[in-house]
Structure 1
Amino acid sequence: MKLLEVACFNVQSAIVASEAGADRIELCDNADLGGTTPPLKWLAEIHGIVKIPINVMIRPRGGGFVYTDAEFQSMKDAINAFISTGMVSGYVFGVLKHDRTVDVERTVELVRLADPLPCTFHRAFDETTDLEQALEDVLGCAIHSILTSGGASKAVDARETLARLVKKAAGRVVIMPGGGVRSTNIGALKESTNASAYHSSALLGSDTVANAMEIEQMKMGVR
């Protein structure tokens, strides 16, 4: 069975995703910015209602992925705050250097802070200049999974690249296609990449809450 992770940008989406059969939630704020750190209070609001694992986005702002010392400290503070809730299953972040390579030192620091919970390197990965080198860099950080569109705006447009990354990863890290993934293309992604996990917001049109039927159809598409 393939894993389906749903990016949830509000409490209601998290509840919908849990009830519709998603396997995991990526909890984040500000969909228009591509996701930022969600309010801590959201966890209290979904406590006892959401029954699936919750990974939390750690991203202090929208825009690029090169952070000041103060921004990086805020990321560490956020991880510590979420750890204290005991409700988080993992963390999602991505840190780059000015030359658009993976900031290995800072990534390792975040991974160690989050230990023993698994961490996902998000689509900052797609901003690197060499995806295959970035894969090796991320592997050296003990990251559990990489959320990537294969460098394209939509994952379905980079199926060959994603398939190559899955093959190169060889089970050392989970390559999770994301970016425009919907029920209409998740089957093609599965067929082309054979990835073990997929990521979608399950948002249709101008909706702001995840669509339950869309989630159900995507689950069917990756069976």
Structure 2
Amino acid sequence: MGQHPFKIEICVEGTDGLIAAQNAGADRVELCASLLEGGLTPSMGVIREAVRVATIPFHVIIRPRGGDFLYSEVEFNSMVEDIKALRDMGNIAGVVIGCLTADGQIDEARTRTLVEAARPMAVTCHRAFDMTADYHAAIEALIRAGVDRVLTSGQRDTAVEGQDILKHTMDAAKGRIVIMACGALDADNIAGVRRATGVDEMHFAALKTLKSGMAFRNPHVGMGGTAIEREYEITVTDTEFVRATIAAARAAV
């Protein structure tokens, strides 16, 4: 197994998700908005409320939009400003970032700028890592830039499919950076992935969909971007899913 203390992080949307994750025994939370887009930066109000209710550490994703990780100068400046605001707020354990160059490399200069802006907070590189052309080169770039942790599914859609690359990534890291596995992990497969890869940490979302409590529904108006019925559904963190998956992961030693 890895050289770092084994931890489980839950990816959540907003403060209700954070509360569900910590009640289920998570070690840490990644706080996001808009998980439908893979996670975007939550609002300052959400982050302040998270500080108020959190009993475990949480990391805030710094991602100004969905899509790729090739940012304009204005987008990148907004990321720096978000990180500075969190640093000044205090009580935030870490931030989650990722910037690439057009040819699929880690943008080392920008990554180093974000790391410097974040300190003393911890810095994780998210699955932008999985979009790089060479994961060996990407690991070395992240280490040089001072990143503490990388979130990866082994450059595949799921951790099960990416198991071999996850193991090779662990070997390449040599304990110099924490490797956190993700990608459709659940109570049925998380133990197998942990045994096969020896990763330091694991990360999953544990979501379920609930019907909206809205009794009145206007069939003539949509808020854009999704099917109308999606606007009458709420995605929440499933406490029992989290608890069962954590138990399965911890049993895999």
Matched to 1:7, the amino acid is C
Matched, 1:198 2:202: yes
Q: Secondary structure at the match of 1:199?
A: strand
Q: Secondary structure at the match of 2:40?
A: coil
Q: Which runs of 5+ in 2 are unaligned?
A: 211-233
Aligned mates of 2:92, 2:15 — CA distance in 1:
15
CA contact (8 A) 2:87 2:121 kept: no
Specify which of 148, 168, 175 is matched with residue 164 of structure 1.
168
- How is 1:137-176 mapped onto 2 (pairs within 5 angstroms)? 137-176=141-180
Aligned mates of 1:178, 1:108 — CA distance in 2:
24
Q: CA 1:47–1:104 in 2, change beyond 3 Å: closer, same or farther?
A: closer
Matched, 1:222 2:249: yes
The Cα shift of 1:70 comes to: 0.1
Matched, 1:110 2:137: no
Aligned mates of 1:142, 1:77 — CA distance in 2:
19
Q: Could you tell me the percent identity over the aligned residues?
A: 35
Aligned mates of 1:48, 1:128 — CA distance in 2:
37
Aligned length: 223
Aligned mates of 1:86, 1:208 — CA distance in 2:
29
Q: Secondary structure at the match of 2:96?
A: strand
- Give the equivalent residue in structure 1 for 2:223: none
TM-score of the aligned structures, taking structure 2 as reference length: 0.85
Matched, 1:50 2:77: no
Aligned mates of 1:19, 1:124 — CA distance in 2:
29
Higher deviation after alignment, 66-75 or 166-175: 166-175
- Give the equivalent residue in structure 2 for 1:63: 67
The runs of at least 4 consecutive aligned structure 1 residues that moved more than 4 Å come to none
Matched to 2:240, the amino acid is M
TM-score of the aligned structures, taking structure 1 as reference length: 0.96
Matched to 1:63, the amino acid is G
The Cα shift of 1:205 comes to: 6.0
Query: What are the Cα deviations for residues 5-53 of structure 1, in whole angstroms up to 9, with x where unaligned?
Result: 0011122111101111100010011111101111111123233422000
Over the residues paired in the alignment, what is the CA RMSD in angstroms?
Answer: 1.3
Aligned mates of 1:54, 1:162 — CA distance in 2:
24
Matched, 1:209 2:236: yes
Query: What are the Cα deviations for residues 172-193 of structure 1, in whole angstroms up to 9, with x where unaligned?
Result: 0011111211222111111101
